[in-house]
């Protein structure tokens, strides 16, 4: 950008001359923009050019218009209870908007704007004018959203007017309240207006370089909407969401996009040619609603930029981005430190668990990981917030900073609109309360004054249940846990749940159940996708059409959703091994999937029927298993998660193993190639009796103690009258476990166990250690107890 004169530099600064050392002069937002232009431009990060007015210009404006005393008087009257916050704020803002820029400052701003216009070969360049408070965006104080931004401004007169409006927005009701609550002196905070080349956005959104829900540091989370970014930030739409695994971004041959979810975007904000109303909201097109906002290339580029910005600042970052619809280039328009998850301690983990089950009244995105109960307070407009009672569950369409006074009194929040980076989501995290956002119909379904339970402890979906359900809270201290030689691993089903437990001192996932992904995310029987044209059930066909919207090939819907789910679980423990068990639904469970009844036989005892390995090579299911293989291959090869180990369940004979391995090889999963290991579940007596034969075909064993107990004792796991006899600690079951460990070790094969017994019985964990088990995989809430039991057993074993 052209260099402004020395005189102009007293009141304006080119962004490219700024660094983070200039926060006191131009505020955190503008200083950060300059920091990125100066240090990251050479690495390809694009930031629009511009200039910032200085704090000196602000104080000169206040002094020239003799505003200090009246501002102090209005604030004192509010503080002493003589007038309302709304009245005080309105008076102050009107005073500032009525002020005039001193001639020298006005000339400096006009000159800086003229220089910027020349830089972009324009007579009058279009700009965004953003407020940047001098105490803004510090890691310990989140001032985001307290002041205003004005978009699509053109011409020096309009720029001056926008700067004046920015000054006034230093005294919005929410900004005054926020400073008062956080101990900032109102008259020691100045306002800098950042005047930045407008990005003519046809796509925009927010990027976090940390998982905003779990604090998992290795992912970038991107929210994206059509048009300008304002609706994404304010939460008036439910945007697309993308999640990228950052450590694998260095290999440009990989596409580690582990999450990709289309939002419900009925509207977007666009520019106009009307100076008095420079933006307006319009409906999105049918094509936009059916498509993802970002291409994979754009998603990866934003994630790479986020990683560069995070590395430069050496902390997790909250970044706003936009794509220029004319040049089709992406730009970073703001960056500030993330202020919630980056401050969470790592030594303790608190988990919540519902003790009762119920059908949810409302479902949306879960924010936070806690549970709360309370009575609803349905409020349609911020004008009615005075009716809100402390501790209630706030139910509304969306929130913005004006809702702050009641949000901090809420026990939980439910909104119809918004995504994980919306205002409601950000504030609920800061307050440590659960929120369900993007519910869609909460205001319609939930009546006022109804007692409900809001649960965000069940993965990436949040639920609102009728009544006050019982729940438990567990807190685990990780700091003093002993180290153990036995590998402790996790049993995981939900991809979103996998990221919740990244702080646990485990070394991989011993059992990733893909049934959860099929049942809860995909929902459709694989063969109903393979043979959709043969499906006669009209209801199932309609539902499949709805779910697979946007996928030209319905099989790709399965592969895409499965691959990303598996990759998310693999990312949570990378590079430690993640053992993915291929599907082990029973026929009755498969039949319950959409379109499933047409492809499943009726069996008297599905527990001992057509399940596990026997399905994979069968002509009636092989094409369905091929979809699983394609998903695993994509997660391993295209995304880069070579820590994925495949495990085959319920493999009855060595000959059956040969058939399954042959099918896998035909589908591109060749044992030994690309470091692929294949394990077998040791859950049938035949797996133990013929362990040497299975060891020739597989790289390891994982004991499924539930099925093994069922088949050794001859007890159906579902037989209620025989439940008292079902005991994994029976001597016969233990003998089987001891035998398979000895035989597998003799064949140089590792053995793990992924059953529930070590979690329930410390003595059983001690038995496994004594028997020489290599790994024990347990549920997350059992890790602390099992580690302690294993440590004691290992100590006893060596004495």
Q: How far is CA 113 from CA 124, 381, 385, in A?
A: 8, 39, 41
Q: In 98-144, where do the E strands start and end?
A: 126-133
Only one residue has tokens 């291929």, namely 582
Contact 430, 339 (CB under 8 A): yes
Strands 578-581, 393-396: pairing kind: unpaired
Residue 107 falls in which region: left (phi positive, over 0), alpha (psi -120 to 50) or beta = alpha
DSSP string of 342-383, one letter each residue: GGS-SSEEEEEEESS---EEEEEEEESS-EEEEEEEE-SSGG
Round to the nearest angstrom and report the end-to-end CA distance of the chain.
Answer: 74
The burial class, CB within 10 Å (0-12 / 13-18 / 19+), for 217 is: middle
Q: Which residues pair with 322 in a beta bridge?
A: 204, 331
Backbone φ and ψ for 564, nearest 5 degrees, come out as -70, -35
Does the active-site annotation cover 182? Answer: no
Q: How many residues are given for the chain? A: 799
Q: In 379-433, where do the E strands start and end?
A: 393-396, 412-415
Q: Express the helix, strand and coil content of the chain in percent, nearest 5 each.
A: 45, 20, 35
User: CA nearest 222: which of 202, 241, 235?
Assistant: 241
| Residue in 166, 456, 651, 754 annotated catalytic | 754
How large is the angle between the packed helices 173-182 and 85-97, nearest 10 degrees? 120
DSSP string of 693-706, one letter each residue: HHHHH-SEEEE-HH
Interatomic CA distance for residues 775 and 506, integer angstroms: 10
Contacts of 403 (CB under 8 A, 6+ apart): 382, 385, 394, 396, 423, 427
Interatomic CA distance for residues 213 and 224, integer angstroms: 17
The burial class, CB within 10 Å (0-12 / 13-18 / 19+), for 674 is: exposed
Does the active-site annotation cover 754? Answer: yes
Backbone φ and ψ for 126, nearest 5 degrees, come out as -80, 140
Only one residue has tokens 């002069």, namely 25
User: CA nearest 199: which of 174, 229, 225?
Assistant: 229
Interatomic CA distance for residues 119 and 497, integer angstroms: 49
Only one residue has tokens 């956005």, namely 201
Q: In 614-654, where do the E strands start and end?
A: 644-648
Only one residue has tokens 């730009």, namely 331
State the maximum Cα–Cα separation within the chain, in Å, rounded to a whole number.
94
Interatomic CA distance for residues 616 and 603, integer angstroms: 18
3-state secondary structure 267-289: EEEEECCCCCCCEEEEECCHHHH
Residue 224 falls in which region: left (phi positive, over 0), alpha (psi -120 to 50) or beta = beta
Q: Which DSSP state fits 238? A: B
User: CA nearest 423: which of 408, 403, 439?
Assistant: 403
Interatomic CA distance for residues 351 and 179, integer angstroms: 33
Is the Cα dihedral 260, 266, 271, 275 positive or negative? negative
Contact 492, 569 (CB under 8 A): yes
| Residue in 423, 456, 525, 629 annotated catalytic | 423
Structural tokens at position 734: 């233990």
Which residues are the active-site residues? 423, 754
């Amino acid at each position: 950008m052209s260099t402004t004169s020395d005189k102009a530099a007293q009141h304006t600064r080119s962004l490219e001359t700024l660094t983070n050392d200039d926060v006191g002069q131009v505020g955190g937002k503008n200083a950060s923009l300059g920091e990125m232009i100066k240090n990251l431009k050479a690495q390809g990060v694009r930031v629009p050019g511009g200039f910032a007015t200085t704090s000196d210009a602000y104080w000169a404006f206040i002094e020239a218009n003799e505003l200090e005393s009246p501002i102090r008087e209005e604030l004192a009257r509010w503080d002493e209870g003589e007038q309302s916050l709304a009245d005080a704020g309105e008076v102050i803002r009107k005073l500032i908007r009525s002020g005039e820029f001193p001639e020298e400052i006005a000339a400096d701003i006009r000159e800086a704007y003229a220089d910027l216009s020349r830089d972009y070969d324009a007579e009058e360049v279009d700009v965004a004018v953003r407020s940047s408070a001098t105490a803004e965006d510090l890691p310990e104080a989140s001032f985001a959203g307290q002041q205003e931004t004005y978009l699509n401004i053109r011409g020096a007169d309009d720029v001056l007017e926008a700067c004046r409006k920015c000054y006034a927005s230093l005294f919005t009701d929410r900004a005054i309240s926020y400073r008062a609550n956080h101990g900032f002196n109102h008259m020691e905070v100045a306002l800098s207006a950042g005047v930045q080349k407008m990005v003519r956005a046809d796509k925009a959104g927010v990027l976090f370089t940390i998982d905003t829900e779990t604090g998992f540091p290795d992912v970038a989370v991107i929210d994206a909407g059509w048009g300008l970014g304002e609706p994404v930030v304010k939460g008036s739409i439910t945007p697309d969401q993308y999640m990228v695994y950052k450590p694998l971004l260095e290999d440009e041959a990989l596409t580690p996009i582990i999450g990709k979810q289309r939002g419900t975007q009925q509207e977007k904000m666009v520019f106009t040619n009307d100076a008095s109303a420079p933006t307006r909201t319009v409906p999105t097109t049918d094509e936009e609603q059916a498509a993802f906002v970002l291409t994979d290339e754009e998603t990866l580029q934003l994630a790479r930029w986020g990683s560069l910005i995070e590395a430069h600042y050496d902390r997790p970052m909250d970044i706003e981005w936009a794509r220029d619809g004319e040049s089709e280039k992406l730009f970073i328009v703001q960056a500030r430190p993330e202020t919630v998850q980056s401050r969470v301690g790592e030594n303790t983990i608190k988990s919540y668990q519902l003790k009762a089950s119920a059908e949810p009244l409302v479902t949306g995105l879960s924010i936070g990981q806690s549970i709360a109960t309370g009575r609803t307070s349905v409020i349609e407009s911020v004008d009615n917030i005075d009716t809100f009672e402390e501790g209630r569950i706030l139910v509304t369409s969306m929130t913005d900073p004006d809702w702050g006074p009641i949000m901090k009194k809420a026990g939980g929040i439910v909104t119809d609109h918004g995504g994980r980076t919306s205002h409601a989501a950000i504030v609920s995290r800061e307050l440590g309360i659960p929120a369900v956002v993007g519910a869609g119909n909460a205001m319609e379904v939930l009546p006022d004054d109804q007692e409900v339970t809001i649960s965000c402890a069940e993965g990436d979906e949040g639920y609102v249940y009728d009544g006050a359900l019982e729940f438990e809270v567990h807190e685990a201290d990780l700091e003093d846990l002993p180290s153990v030689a036995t590998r402790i691993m996790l049993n995981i089903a939900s991809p979103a749940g996998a990221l919740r437990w990244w702080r646990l001192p485990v070394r991989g996932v011993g059992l990733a159940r893909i049934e959860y992904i099929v049942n809860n995310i995909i929902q459709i029987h694989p063969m109903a996708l393979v043979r959709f044209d043969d499906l006669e059930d009209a209801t199932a066909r309609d539902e499949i059409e709805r779910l697979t919207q946007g996928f030209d090939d319905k099989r790709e819907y399965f592969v895409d959703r499965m691959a990303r789910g598996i990759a998310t679980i693999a990312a949570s423990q990378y590079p430690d091994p993640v053992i993915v068990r291929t599907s082990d639904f029973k026929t009755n469970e498969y039949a319950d999937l959409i379109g499933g009844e047409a492809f499943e036989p009726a069996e008297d005892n599905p527990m001992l029927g057509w399940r596990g390995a026997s399905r994979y090579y069968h002509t009636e299911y092989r094409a369905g298993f091929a979809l699983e293989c394609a998903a695993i291959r994509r997660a391993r090869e295209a995304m880069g998660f070579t820590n994925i180990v495949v495990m085959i369940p319920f493999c009855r004979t060595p000959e059956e193993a040969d058939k399954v391995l042959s099918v896998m090889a035909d589908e591109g999963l060749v044992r030994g190639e690309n470091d692929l290991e294949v394990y077998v579940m040791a859950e049938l007596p035949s797996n133990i009796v013929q362990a040497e034969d299975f060891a020739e075909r597989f790289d390891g064993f994982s004991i499924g103690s539930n099925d093994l107990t069922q088949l050794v004792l001859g007890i159906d796991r579902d037989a209620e009258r025989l439940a008292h006899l079902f005991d994994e600690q029976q001597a016969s079951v233990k003998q089987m476990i001891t035998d398979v460990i000895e035989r597998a070790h003799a064949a140089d094969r590792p053995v793990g166990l992924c059953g529930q017994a070590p979690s329930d019985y410390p003595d059983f964990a001690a038995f496994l250690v004594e028997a020489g088990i290599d790994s024990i995989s347990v549920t997350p809430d059992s890790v602390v107890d099992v580690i302690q039991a294993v440590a004691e057993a290992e100590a006893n074993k060596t004495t």
